[in-house]
Structure 1
Amino acid sequence: MEILTKIESIEPAIRQAGEIMLKYLDQDKQIEHKEAVNLLTRADVECEQLLVDFLKSNFPDDGILAEEGHQYPSQSGFTWVIDPVDGTTSYAHGFPQFAVSVGLVNDNNESIGGVVYNPYYKEIFQAAKGHGASLNSKPIRVSNVPSLSVALLGTGFPYNRRERMPLLMRRLATILHNVHDVRRTGSAALDICYVACGRTDGYFEEGLKPWDTAAALLILEEAGGKASKFDGAKADIFFPELCVSNSTIHAELINLLKDAHLREII
């Protein structure tokens, strides 16, 4: 089956997962603490089960890697990477920056398809390798902002931020001094998609997991964006650092991230 067809076929299930999220948004979310600042809600559990059941029924040979524990090896060369509620903390507080994220990767762990859906705003980002990226079925492209000084960036903080505070604050201060401004949504998938559609011009974060980025990275690349590790090396969904941009400002942004890291060492 063509990748685009596979991606399009999962949209109804993703929209169903979004309805589950909205159903519990103003109800008791049955919040649990996986770690001090890492939350789990009933929506995480129910959305993941819905998506896993759909994928196992429709693509039984495909692998699955999901945030809340479902893992099945691939027999087909394809693996679905699922974050049932990306931005759980935002969701738990009723802050409407959360999303269902489902990415498709090949045996080389390269993203080849992805869907990111914010049910609150009814925004569905989609891409399949070689077919471009879209928002609600309309093509999207990254911004043409030419330099960091006029760029709006997104960022996030890792769950172990208390241990990493000096570097995180130094990095943020370095960036803030050189850009127009910085925003934080709490959802890595949405942050990357916002770069893809030109709402922001770049994004950087550490402490990421594959389910945070597998879908959105392909959406970004198909929209003309660039992604890498903080040192400029090729992005990897299994590596915790990620820097993305509209491509034009990428070298500038990487240099600032390197500068902040060097200051910590010195």
Structure 2
Amino acid sequence: MAQCQPLISRLVASSVTAAAQAGKIIRDILNQGELNIIDKGKNDLQTEADRSAQKCIIESLSRQYPDVTIIGEEGSSRCEVPSDWIVTDMDQDVLNLKLPKELENISAKDICVWVDPLDGTSEFTQGLVDHVTVLVGVAIGSRAIGGVIHQPFYNNNSSLGRTLWGIVGSGIGGFTPISPIEGKRIITTTRSHSNKIVQKALDAMEPDEIIRVGGAGHKVMLLLEGKAHAYVFASSGCKRWDTCAPEAVLKSAGGNLTDLYGELYSYDANTNYQNTKGVIATAPGQQHSWYISRIPESVKQDI
């Protein structure tokens, strides 16, 4: 019966189960203690968990959707993987969701899936496992439409994960958004990639509190949980696979994610991977334009 559902429903439903399986692989590797860290460059690490989680997701999705373009942070080449890493079942809650008419008959050639198999690698290697997320974003043309954020170590638990998902214009699952506290302005930002420009943008927001954590997925989860009002990152340090899934989930819940100019990033397969104009994301109910207006022109020019 699942094959009767629209392609977007099936793809997001499959991404939910694949991300959860990738989360299990990440937990297993951490418990075994064999991280096998590779330094890819400045502040850019890769572990066995990154590589294995990506193999799981790309093989699981590619076998079911061979005509869909899939781009992964660790490269998109396919290879043999253990059979128990391949998942082909689909999340029933996603399949039951009613799509807007414009999403019902999408061609596979118009879809690009962006995969960050382990967002927050630096924190993962330092034992800050609650910062880690698995991200699978689904774009149609240039727009982020569907997203899955899986947190393998929910509440720092080594055996329990949770999955948040959303399809823009359709709904969300795995969580209930909570409004941030009124009367304060709490900003979340990078933990490990800060500099004078990043700090200048934060100061312009006049925050009451700054929460510095790893991973774009984790930061957007803080917005959805009502723990922060906005995510501000005045740097070109993140990429499309960092923001596609978080943007889709956040927009599905009523929030927003753009560059520092208030423009949406493009997620088509031929786009530049680098988010060269920074990131601002706001929780549902927040006035996104206010945060955009606070960014100094000097910051925009510097990044």
- How do 1:1-266 and structure 2 match up within 5 A? 1-26=6-31, 27-70=33-76, 76-96=109-129, 97-107=131-141, 109-121=142-154, 122-134=161-173, 136=174, 138=175, 140-141=176-177, 143=179, 150-156=184-190, 165-175=195-205, 178-205=206-233, 206=235, 207-236=237-266, 239-240=275-276, 241-246=278-283, 247-258=285-296, 261=299
1: CA distance, partners of 2:224 / 2:199? 26
For residues 158 and 232 of structure 1, do their structure 2 counterparts lie closer, same or farther at Cα, with a shift above 3 Å needed?
Answer: farther
CA contact 2:166–2:252 (8 Å) conserved in 1? yes
2: CA distance, partners of 1:264 / 1:55? 39
Q: CA RMSD in A?
A: 2.6
Tell me which amino acid in the other structure corresponds to 1:14. A
For residues 2 and 197 of structure 1, do their structure 2 counterparts lie closer, same or farther at Cα, with a shift above 3 Å needed?
Answer: farther
Deviations 1:179-220 (A, max 9, x none): 221112211012123213423211012322000011110111
Q: Unpaired runs of 5+ in structure 1?
A: none
For residues 180 and 131 of structure 1, do their structure 2 counterparts lie closer, same or farther at Cα, with a shift above 3 Å needed?
Answer: same
1: CA distance, partners of 2:244 / 2:178? 18
CA contact 1:111–1:215 (8 Å) conserved in 2? yes
2: CA distance, partners of 1:215 / 1:263? 27
2: CA distance, partners of 1:52 / 1:264? 36
CA contact 1:103–1:115 (8 Å) conserved in 2? yes
Deviation beyond 4 Å, 4+ runs, structure 1 = 235-238, 262-265
Deviations 1:16-54 (A, max 9, x none): 110111112241301110013210100111111111111
Identity %: 24
Q: CA deviation at 1:144?
A: 5.6
2: CA distance, partners of 1:75 / 1:248? 34
For residues 249 and 37 of structure 1, do their structure 2 counterparts lie closer, same or farther at Cα, with a shift above 3 Å needed?
Answer: same
For residues 214 and 71 of structure 1, do their structure 2 counterparts lie closer, same or farther at Cα, with a shift above 3 Å needed?
Answer: farther
Secondary structure at the counterpart of residue 136 of structure 2: strand
Tell me which amino acid in the other structure corresponds to 2:123. S
TM-score, length-scaled by structure 2: 0.75
CA contact 1:67–1:84 (8 Å) conserved in 2? yes
2: CA distance, partners of 1:235 / 1:197? 24
CA contact 1:142–1:201 (8 Å) conserved in 2? no
Q: CA deviation at 1:94?
A: 1.2
For residues 150 and 169 of structure 1, do their structure 2 counterparts lie closer, same or farther at Cα, with a shift above 3 Å needed?
Answer: same
TM-score, length-scaled by structure 1: 0.85
1: CA distance, partners of 2:128 / 2:110? 37
